[in-house]
Amino acid sequence: MRHDAFLPRELEPWLPGWVRLIARLLRLPSGRRGREGRPGERVGRAFEQLGPVAVKLGQVLATRADIFGLQFARDLGRLKDKLPPFPTDQARAEFERSVGRPVESLFTDFGDAIGAASIAQAHPAHLADGRKVAVKVLRPGVERRVARGLDAMRLAARVVHRLVPPARRLEPQAFVETLARSLELELDMRLEAAAASELADIMADGGHMKAPAVIWDGVGKRVLTLEWADGMPMTDPLADEQPGLDKNALADNVVRAFLTQALDHGAFHADLHEGNLFCRAPAELTAVDFGIVGRLGKGERRYLAEILWGFLTRDYDRIARVHFEAGYVPPHHSVDAFAQALRAVGEPVIGKQASQVSMGRLLGQLFEITDLFDMHLRPELILLQKTMVSVEGVARRLNPDHDLWAASKPVVERWIRRELGPQAQARDALEETVATLKALSRLIQDPPVSEPVVAEMRFPRWLQAWIALVTLAAAAALVLSLWQAIL
């Protein structure tokens, strides 16, 4: 309200009369200075004052110019890496406290901050061997600000859960706790260093994105040192003007990098906005800021791949069955009716360019369908859904005519062929057979009965050998039949 960002004056012509009166009363605390600037600028100032949790929300909103408008998104864009920095002297002192060694013992120079976000800021430096690095230092007192922001979110979630029954299916309290856990992990730079190292290995396997190497001598609880990222930050207006830059290929790489990480490895960079991405011609991408990592179990990866593949092949019955199998839709609903609803969502957008799809209308339709079929928010998928929104927004900004489905198809198709094809069936059957043989062997050698009965029931060796032989023969026959089907 201080920044006229709650019900801003620009909305007044579209508000009912009684709401307009309330809006004017709510704007009284803002005063003349609080009302300066465009709505996006005022919302950005409010989020900045509210702290890191609100800034994280603003960073996601800034990727969706297609929903909130280009100017609004640009005004929020400063929240990605253009917040006011804290003094370099404090950063140097924090490095020495956290790492336990003087700055000069590791770096030949240590420059002023080149980017500042809600949690930390980055400083350029050089190692003794000449390599350029980025030193990330947490903001002073950021832990307290994050804790206050999370307390406010928890209070809001409890109020919404109690006073707004229709919102309960969105699981507001579980939503807040999932985000709280990810933010708490983000406040330990040693864990971020480990995540950066893990994701660098994962990205090297995919080839669509890469990550800078960790300089472990410069890592502490509140400090992280990485090699300098190649290319220009995507928040730089000049990044789009690099000679030879292929924006469509770059958009493809953003989408494919995310899907490769999520589907093939079950671990993905969960904060992929422009402030954490660097690009270089023709279509090279480097990611930084690994504080938030999303993780998917084998089941969630399969459901994600099958749902995407169902949309790509327009197999709405399959998508519906996967939703019911995963428990995303309560079993008392009709699979056929849900497939019909999915068709109404998919047919208008599959194969369309991004500029031909109204994301606002699509999200509204999806919200109505989830309400109609009593679908609840899944806490384990929150980071996945948040990242998908950011990734699609980044791809749209790079190329308004980008075809998200065409970009996704090679990755999803490869995963389906590898994990659900005949070879995968043969592999799974063999693994199940081996597990069965091990369990049978343990049962024969050590039956779960009392000792006197064991003496009476222990199988003769010839019978043990015969059971093992029959089981192996059955396993061999199963594997042979599967391989014949493959060939």
Question: How far is 394 from 425, CA to CA, in rounded Å?
Answer: 37
Span 48-88, pLDDT tens digits: 888 888 888 888 888 777 777 888 888 888 787 788 899 99
Whether 109 is catalytic is no
State if pTM tops 0.85.
Answer: no
Question: How far is 181 from 259, CA to CA, in rounded Å?
Answer: 23
3-state DSSP call for residue 64?
A: coil
Catalytic residue among 66, 271, 289, 403: 271
pLDDT over 70 (residue 477) = no
Among 157, 163, 254, 240, CA closest to 203: 254
In sequence order, what are the beta bridge partners of 456? none
Identify the residue with better confidence: 391 or 445.
391
Span 140-154, pLDDT tens digits: 999 999 999 899 989
Among 306, 314, 195, 210, CA closest to 253: 210
Q: What is the pLDDT of residue 207?
A: 82
Span 153-202, pLDDT tens digits: 899 999 989 988 888 888 889 888 988 888 888 899 999 999 999 999 99
Identify the residue with better confidence: 479 or 351.
351
How far, CA to CA in Å, does 172 sit from each of 31, 64, 286? 33, 22, 34
